[in-house]
Structure 1
């Protein structure tokens, strides 16, 4: 992945790692609260479209491979750790590219949050539960939200890079 102007005169990786840590801590703190105050399946109805619920996800996004027999815990843990190493390598290579690094550090914080869950519990703790007009979205957490925002911003960064190169 070639990126023009990869280093902005002395830009540092540390602010990006700090952002990843903030996401990780917020994710873990909210999960500790859910694990401490809710039993599996317990829910608090907040609005007509949003609930707080304790759910366990042994799979990936949208419970993909949740019933695969257990091997997926280690596969997703390995993928998360490999992604973290790759992201840190990219952050070191391009610390001055703000949107790119924001994207990657958001994904990093979320990925590590979910890896810690898999290692500690064997599942990811989910609790944000949205539904609308009879349609239900799978429960998710702060880590998943950060990964999603990071992925959207990464796509935006690439679209802006392509536009600038024309």
Structure 2
């Protein structure tokens, strides 16, 4: 039950920040010389890789996310570490799939850069997916 609540909170936080970005980020919010909020959309997977804005591409990405979620649920272990990691990955996947359905792309807004070197713009769902994946790998390493 606590993982379901965590999943709902993380998904709501992701969707809420995407909605905020859609409504408020008409111009970039610059915080430091390397960190800003800038509205962008992304038809690809995490960090804009493998971009595909076609309907078939969007369906393929959404189906892939769903299959990963099913795999994580089906191969769930009862360790707290892997459960929390899976919860983060699934909440990020759900947030990005909902964004794809509503906007035909994922809304991104977090921008990191150094001088002329820019990391692809991302969102909280991408952070949850990356942190969840790293945590899952760490859980496996600790287990072995």
Instruction: Answer whether TM exceeds 0.5 for this pair.
Output: yes
Asked if residue 22 in structure 1 is aligned to residue 9 in structure 2, the reply is yes
Paired residues in the alignment total 144
Segment drifting more, 64-73 vs 135-144: 64-73
- 76, 85, 92: which one pairs with 1:103? 85
> In structure 2, how many angstroms separate the alpha carbons of the residues matched to 1:150 and 1:71?
27
**Does the 8 Å CA contact 1:65/1:72 hold for their aligned counterparts?**
no
Partner of 1:49: 34
**Does the 8 Å CA contact 2:86/2:132 hold for their aligned counterparts?**
yes
Provide the alpha-carbon RMSD of the alignment: 1.5
> In structure 2, how many angstroms separate the alpha carbons of the residues matched to 1:137 and 1:146?
17
Structure 1 residue 70, shift from structure 2 partner: 3.8
Partner of 2:20: 33
Show structure 1 runs of 4+ deviating over 3 A.
Answer: 67-70
Partner of 1:151: 133
**Where does structure 1 lack aligned partners over 5 or more consecutive residues?**
1-13
Query: TM-score under structure 2 normalisation?
Result: 0.92
Q: Equivalent residue of 1:17, what SS?
A: helix
Structure 1 residue 68, shift from structure 2 partner: 5.9
Partner of 1:84: 69
Query: TM-score under structure 1 normalisation?
Result: 0.81
Partner of 1:6: none
Change (3 A) 1:68 1:115: closer
**Where does structure 2 lack aligned partners over 5 or more consecutive residues?**
none
- 59, 62, 69: which one pairs with 2:44? 59
Q: Equivalent residue of 1:29, what SS?
A: helix
